[in-house]
Amino acid sequence: MGNSVDERFTSLKLWKHFETAADREQVILVSKHIEHVLPLLNYFTTAFPTYTLHNGQHQRNILYLMGELLGPELSEVSALECAVLILSAFYHDLGMVFTEEELDSVESEPKFLMFLDQNTKARLSYESNGKKADRELIEWYCRTMHAERVWVYLDQEDIDLPLLWNDLPFKTQLGKVCESHNLSVKDIKNNDDVFVTDFLGECDLVFCSILLRLADIFDFDNTRSPKSVYEFLGLDKPKNNIESVSRAEWQKHLSSGGFTFQRNEDILTVLFKAAPKHPSVEIEIRNFLDIIEMELADCNELKRFCSKKWNEFKLPSSINRACILSTNFRSGKYHFSLSQDKILTLLTGEGLYNDRYIFLRELLQNSIDTSRHREFKEKISNSRFTADEIEISYFTDTDGYNWIRIDDYGMGMTEDIISNHLLKKGESYYNSDKFKLEKLLINQAFHNDFVPISRFGIGMLSCFIISDKIEISTKHISEPANAYRLTLEGQNGYFIFQSSKDHHTANPMPKENGFEKGFRKKAGTSIAVRITGNMEFHGFDFKKQIESYVLCSPIRIMYEGELVGGEWKALLEDPWTESHVVEVEKSFIDNIESTFDLKLPKSLQLEIAAVNVGEKSLDPNLKGQLVMIYLKIEEIISLKTLPTFSIAANGKELVIKVSKAVIKDGKSTDLSIEHRDIDIISSLNVPEKITNRLMYNNEYEYSFSKIQLSHNGITIHDQGDFFSLNTIFGREPILMHSYDRRTVYSGILYFQDRLLPSLTVSRNEIKDVTFELSFNALYALRDLNKFVYYDNDLYDFFSNRISIISSRRIIKESGIYENNKDYWDNEPLYLIGREKLSVVQIKELLKTSSDFFENPYFYRNDVINNFVLYILEQNFEVYISIKKMTVGHMTVYKLTIAESLIPNELRRFRPFRFFKFEEDRVELLIGDKININHRFVQWYIKASDLLSDKFNFYSYQLIHILYDPDTAKAVLNINSILDRLRKSLPQDIAPDKAINLNAKDFYL
């Protein structure tokens, strides 16, 4: 019986049997469908360019594997079953074929929204990308939907070539079998009205589904992964995540020799052969075989629902892996592993946390996080919602054990959160896709980037530093009819888990003056921690302990009816005092003049500067207050030798000291006088929570010399003095001595959500400060500039002079300019000639002239200066020109309205590094200015993304080495890196030899 189907299909056992069992018209029908479908399958690469082959080779393999699985039972397969099996082999993956137009419109498909609703990670990707699907998300959606999309083609083909069997339609049944390869076995069993076992009296659709899904998954060999295609796709050097995933799949297939089916009487065994060349490939292969064996188990179960003809059919149950032969390495799971007990000991030991009661801080920050989370969530529908107070209790039970209990009324926990986050070390719920999506939706609703304090998922473990038992009672706001109770006994033990929906009787929950019966009634979480006897000590002051951890909590925290951590409004919003000037007593001025034989001005003054940080900040996530006392001397009439002026705070007493080294009786001695004021500091009304410092003896001492720090209500310890103020202020540099101390101060900086310093894992100290935080702190305190000598724009008032990396990318991601563009565009930031102009004013000026300026660096602080230069680059194209001088040269800058911005590929470098050179200059570097049009930079822009991903250090070095003062050495080192990259980068990215540098590329 002739037909035009390719011989690679007609030579197979299943096709030969089909030709025998079916009549001529039926064979022609199936043949014509194959002729039409087969060419279409070649276009699967439009949507899936890096997938292993899903065209004719895959279909041929499936038909072959169906025949091998059937074995001698092939003769029992009816003609219609043959037709369904053959056509499903060709149609089942046809949904992977998309046109470019279809790919562009997938976001408008109704099922795309359903896909997002069913996949948290997909929704997160979509929302994070501005409600737009990127290529990776589109590919994910297309892969998920490809089985259902069979109807796009079946419906069309059925019009031209009606799928009729003895004049009866079977398109629906064929389509359902095609869809089934992407369904669970449970879905097939639950749809017995669709997957009938006697369709048209001769076709078992359940059995056809089993054969299709098994043949599909068994198609695992190198026939679908030609090495030439692998090399053509460049997957040996993947450029992105999609290519990395595809590379792993290709390497598995390239190493696979496929399956051999062996029969011994009625027992079917499967032997798998492979020659992996790397252990990671072998592990991937073995993991995939595990998946196949699970599929075999499912299909053996599903087989019971087949017709009588097929329900006794023998399927294999396992795979013989004896012929997985490693190539030049010993097979086995040789990889790093962790000793759970020792890691847990490390995480719960005092080596990580140098404070045994640090678990209190961890639990309190969890309670603050979940309460704030609930506030945001509830306010979407109820703007007046306020979370209830967090309650802390410390008590002794009837057995003599001491307990610490914390009750919050936040979100509570679901079983998923308990199982996958609370009880999994290092799996913080706040790092989950589910929470990230919710956070994104909160941000969209409130334009507030809610960022919890908790990050690492090890806070609960810290309880075991001093505890041997933890009791938890929780109820999630989404489950009003359900609640949970847990008892945790030791960090390695099994936990008692109780659920109200399972009708468990909840163990009593320890509380002050007894026990709490039943499950929790209100949403939120209660945690009670039992303290081990060997961690108790006499004199422990629980209230002081919790006060040391909490500062200005946004959720009220109560202990024994008293507020912990200070009152939010009093600390951050109500002004402590007003800026004013206090005259120093005249008697002290007279004493200075007579003692040191000099003439002071008519008054010596103390300037009180009060800064409301929240009002001055452009970012609502930064709040606080600061009071500074500044010793002010306007002028000195007679100058010979000056004494040293200083002030200090001794408790609530302000001490003004004037001293001078003199020669007396041939010896150098210190002549000094002091004035003590007991009223000034008290009159400033700084809250005790700010000025009280807990000392080593567990007693409080009054201190007017520090800025306290808090993030979301948890105290931050500034042991590195990142936010200590420079006490050597003074606008009269001629008066300054290296030992002058002209200021004392006290205050609080409250950081919220994303404004957070980089902390150690134990959160005990600051490691570093981000650009966003440092800029906002500097700018909010800009009024202090007037106390800095020389200039009002130095921003030199932090003693450590915060200076961090501030690349274009970091500045842009901070959103400081983009979120306040109108404000910054109208601020006079740039010195053009002798006048400071704003961006708006410069643009107006450029309407009539092209303006030059000589020095763009106006601000001593790098953080501020780089930000100002970033704004300049966002609005103007900056050209540089070399102006020859009598001696040497001078660089001048020309501004034009920006038609194109600095390419994103250069975003990892600081502003004002790359320029367009005027006068057709061909040099790469003039001073520290880099020519953006130079061949080296143009190649770098092209290769930048891949360099930063695969060769991060080289990516930086290629630019930073340019600044080496030894030009010959710079040329040698850069060319050496380029030679290295030629061997590693894909051919289309690798640098041509013409990219190499020489001395002529540098302006000398």
- Does 129 fall in a domain? no
Instruction: Please count the helices (runs of H) and the strands (runs of E) in the chain.
Output: 34, 36
Average pLDDT over residues 639-652: 80
pLDDT above 50: residue 2: no
Q: Using CA atoms, how far apart are residues 186 and 192, in angstroms rounded to an integer?
A: 11
DSSP state of 67: H
Most confident by average pLDDT, 357-366, 576-585, 665-674: 576-585
User: How many domains does the chain divide into?
Assistant: 5
What pLDDT, in 10s, does the model give residues 730-761?
544 444 444 467 889 999 999 999 898 888 77
CB 443 within 8 A of CB 570: no
Helices (H), 388-527: 415-417, 433-446
- For residue 462, what are the domain limits? 342-559
Alpha carbon of residue 780 to chain centroid: 27
- Does 497 fall in a domain? yes
Domain termination site, one of 532, 559, 586: 559
What pLDDT, in 10s, does the model give residues 547-575?
999 999 999 999 999 999 999 999 999 99
Q: Quick check: pTM over 0.85?
A: no
Q: Using CA atoms, how far apart are residues 435 and 431, in angstroms rounded to an integer?
A: 7
- The two tokens of residue 197 are 């076992």
Q: Which amino acid is at 672?
A: S
pLDDT above 80: residue 945: yes
Weakest mean pLDDT among 198-212, 533-547, 703-717, 937-951: 533-547
CB 261 within 8 A of CB 72: no
Most confident by average pLDDT, 302-316, 331-345, 636-650: 302-316
pLDDT above 50: residue 234: no
* Nearest CA-CA partner of 734 in 784, 789, 658, 671: 789
- Does 122 fall in a domain? no
Are residue 848 and residue 908 in the same domain, yes or no? Answer: yes
* Contact partners, residue 596, CB within 8 Å, separation at least 6: 643, 658, 660, 671
Weakest mean pLDDT among 64-73, 549-558, 629-638, 861-870: 629-638
Are residue 767 and residue 876 in the same domain, yes or no? Answer: no
Q: What is the pLDDT of residue 153?
A: 84
CB atoms within 10 A of CB 312: 10
DSSP state of 765: S
State the helix-helix crossing angle for 171-180 and 205-218, rounded to 10 degrees: 40
Q: What is the pLDDT of residue 733?
A: 45
Average pLDDT over residues 376-386: 92
- Does 352 fall in a domain? yes
Confidence bin at 587 (pLDDT 50/70/90)? very high
Q: Using CA atoms, how far apart are residues 178 and 213, in angstroms rounded to an integer?
A: 9
Q: Using CA atoms, how far apart are residues 725 and 801, in angstroms rounded to an integer?
A: 9
Q: What are the beta bridge partners of residue 916?
A: 879
CATH code where residue 376 lies? 3.30.565.10
Are residue 275 and residue 352 in the same domain, yes or no? Answer: no
Q: What is the pLDDT of residue 249?
A: 66
Confidence bin at 953 (pLDDT 50/70/90)? very high
What ranges make up the beta strands (E) of 788-856? 830-832, 835-837, 852-853
Are residue 754 and residue 813 in the same domain, yes or no? Answer: no
CB atoms within 10 A of CB 339: 9
Domain termination site, one of 534, 559, 584: 559
Q: Which own/partner pairs from 774-777 qualify as long-range (CB within 8 Å, at least 24 positions apart)?
A: 774/802, 774/804, 774/863, 775/806, 775/814, 775/816, 775/863, 775/864, 775/867, 776/617, 776/618, 776/619, 776/621, 776/622, 776/816, 777/622, 777/723, 777/749, 777/802
Q: Which amino acid is at 326?
A: S
Q: What is the pLDDT of residue 494?
A: 75
Are residue 69 and residue 152 in the same domain, yes or no? Answer: yes
Q: What is the pLDDT of residue 582?
A: 94
Q: What is the pLDDT of residue 446?
A: 81
Torsion of the alpha carbons at 552, 706, 682 and 585, rounded to the nearest 10 = -160
Are residue 548 and residue 424 in the same domain, yes or no? Answer: yes
State the helix-helix crossing angle for 279-302 and 241-255, rounded to 10 degrees: 80
Q: Using CA atoms, how far apart are residues 463 and 896, in angstroms rounded to an integer?
A: 61
Are residue 551 and residue 580 in the same domain, yes or no? Answer: no
* C-alpha gyration radius of the chain: 37
Are residue 164 and residue 313 in the same domain, yes or no? Answer: yes
Q: What is the pLDDT of residue 735?
A: 45
pLDDT above 70: residue 636: no
Element spanning 644, H or E: strand 644-650
Domain termination site, one of 283, 298, 324: 324
Are residue 676 and residue 544 in the same domain, yes or no? Answer: no
Q: Using CA atoms, how far apart are residues 985 and 609, in angstroms rounded to an integer?
A: 58
Element spanning 16, H or E: helix 13-21
What ranges make up the beta strands (E) of 855-995? 876-884, 889-897, 914-917, 925-926, 929-931
Average pLDDT over residues 896-916: 88
Q: Using CA atoms, how far apart are residues 37 and 159, in angstroms rounded to an integer?
A: 14
Using DSSP's 3-state secondary structure scheme, residue 768 falls into strand
- Does 208 fall in a domain? yes
Q: Higher pLDDT residue, 733 or 173?
A: 173
Element spanning 406, H or E: strand 402-408
Are residue 395 and residue 504 in the same domain, yes or no? Answer: yes
Confidence bin at 524 (pLDDT 50/70/90)? very high
Q: Average pLDDT of the chain?
A: 85
Q: Which amino acid is at 724?
A: S
What pLDDT, in 10s, does the model give residues 49-70?
655 555 678 889 999 999 999 9
Average pLDDT over residues 252-277: 84
Using DSSP's 3-state secondary structure scheme, residue 340 falls into helix
Average pLDDT over residues 976-998: 94
pLDDT above 90: residue 199: yes
Angle at 799 between CA 794 and CA 804, to 5 degrees: 70
Using DSSP's 3-state secondary structure scheme, residue 651 falls into coil
Confidence bin at 654 (pLDDT 50/70/90)? very high
Are residue 594 and residue 664 in the same domain, yes or no? Answer: yes
Q: Using CA atoms, how far apart are residues 721 and 738, in angstroms rounded to an integer?
A: 20
- Does 199 fall in a domain? yes
- Does 101 fall in a domain? no
Q: Using CA atoms, how far apart are residues 743 and 740, in angstroms rounded to an integer?
A: 9
Are residue 907 and residue 967 in the same domain, yes or no? Answer: no
Q: What is the pLDDT of residue 851?
A: 59
What pLDDT, in 10s, does the model give residues 833-851?
778 889 999 999 888 876 5
- Does 107 fall in a domain? no
Q: Classify residue 115 by burial, with Cβ atoms within 10 Å: 0-12, 13-18, 19+.
A: buried
What pLDDT, in 10s, does the model give residues 200-233?
999 999 999 999 999 988 988 766 444 443 343 3
Q: What is the pLDDT of residue 731?
A: 46
Q: What is the pLDDT of residue 900?
A: 80
Element spanning 471, H or E: strand 467-475
pLDDT above 60: residue 375: yes
